[in-house]
Each structure stands twice: as C-alpha cells, then as structure tokens.
A and B are shown apart, each in its own frame.
Chain A
C-alpha cells in the first residue's frame, strides 16, 4: 500500500524558513517523480514543485521560484521542500504527491499545514 506521510509544517513568521519532509513507502521510491502541491483551506489545488526520479529535471511554480527548493533522498525514500523567505500567501496545506509511470499524480499524502503569520 502506497503511503506518503508529510511532516515539518507549523506556524512561522514572515521571512523565516521551514523544511517539509515526506516519508514514502509501499512503492519503489526511486522509480517515480514526485511533487508538492498546496491548498489554501477552502480553495483549489496549486502545484508547487516537481522533481524527477533522478533529481533532474526539477520545476517550480512561478509563485515560489527562487524561494523554495525541492529535493529527494532515494536512499531514505524521502522528499523534501525547503521553503525560504516565507510570505503570508504561502499559508496552506502542503501535500506530497507521487507520480505514476504515465506522469499523472496517482497518490497523495494527507498534508501538513504551514501557517505564515507574525
């Protein structure tokens, strides 16, 4: 059974940093691309960043480019999102998501909540 468990969310002040982690299990992690997707409570889904199985290529949404860094450790079956220079508009539930062999997202974690506020 595919499991994706996010951690690292919390309350942080504007301008500060936070690192999210996603522990993956139930599939061969280093075979698949992974994504981070976020959702402001009550709003729609917003794609944040994606990383291939080999860590290259990588892509970011314009809204986070230059501030967020996605990475993975295939030996640890883990995905990460380093978030710097956080803004109030980054407040959201952050989902870790697995890509299928076809490229679509096929599994989602339960999310970790990030709140950026002074």
Chain B
C-alpha cells in the first residue's frame, strides 16, 4: 500500500509570495496517477491538478504541478487571498478503483 506524506504540515505565507508544497510517496508512483486538490473551510474538495502536472478545467495558471517517481510538488505563484486553504495530494488507480490521500498541507496567511 502506497503512503503519501505531505510537507510541511502548515505553511505560513503572505499574499503575493510563492508556495511550494511537497508530496512524497512511499514507493514510486506513475506521474499519470498523481493529483492535487484544494479544500476550503465548509466546502468540498476541488480538483486542481491531475496527471502530476495537468491543470483541471478553470484552474488558474498560478497553480502548477511537477515531479516524478516518489517526489511531487504543487507550486502556487503570486498567492491570492482565496488560495489560503488545505491542499491534498492523491494517488489513484483504476483497476480496482482506489485512491490514497496525503494528510494535507494547510496554507495559512502570515
């Protein structure tokens, strides 16, 4: 079973800065099967990135994903006030359909 470890647990930054969030897998993961989602308080999660680097529909280009093997990164440039939220990486498989989530990184306003 693959375990995803996200770091840092909490990241404190100011609007306009760049956030770098890490997701490390316990074993190699195909980049095809790595995604990131965002969750704001009281809301359902929202897909940001899939296939490690492909932005979902409607996601601004300030959000970018990269990585391969066991190390993946979500970068958020020019932080906007609405970007402060919790971010989860997820690894998925289709047969059988199964998902593993990281424990999340909380991005908070400094």
Contact = CB atoms under 8 A, between A and B. Distances in A.
Nearest to A52: B97
A104 interface: yes
Contact of B97 (A35, A44, A45): A35
A95 to B, nearest CB: 6
8 contacts: A35-B99, A44-B101, A47-B98, A50-B99, A59-B96, A103-B92, A105-B92, A109-B44
Contacts of A45: 39, 45, 88, 90, 101, 104
Interface residues of B, number: 27
Interface in A32-59: 33-35, 37, 44-47, 50-52, 57-59
Interface of A: 33-35, 37, 44-47, 50-52, 57-59, 95, 99-100, 102-111
Contact of A102 (B39, B51, B102, B104): B51
Contacts of B37: 105
A15 B103 CA distance: 28
Nearest to B41: A42
Contact of A50 (B32, B90, B98, B103): B98
Q: Which of A37, A51, A59, A103 has the most CB of B within 10 A?
A: A103
B35 A33 contact: no
Contacts of B46: 108
Nearest to A109: B44
Q: Could you tell me the dominant secondary structure of chain B's interface residues?
A: strand
Q: Could you tell me the dominant secondary structure of chain A's interface residues?
A: strand
Interface string B83-110: 0000010101111111111111000000
Given A45-B45, A105-B35, 10 more contacts: A44-B104, A50-B98, A51-B97, A58-B96, A59-B96, A99-B92, A102-B51, A104-B92, A105-B45, A106-B56
Contacts of B79: none
Contacts of A37: 99, 101
B93 A103 contact: yes
A83 to B, nearest CB: 19
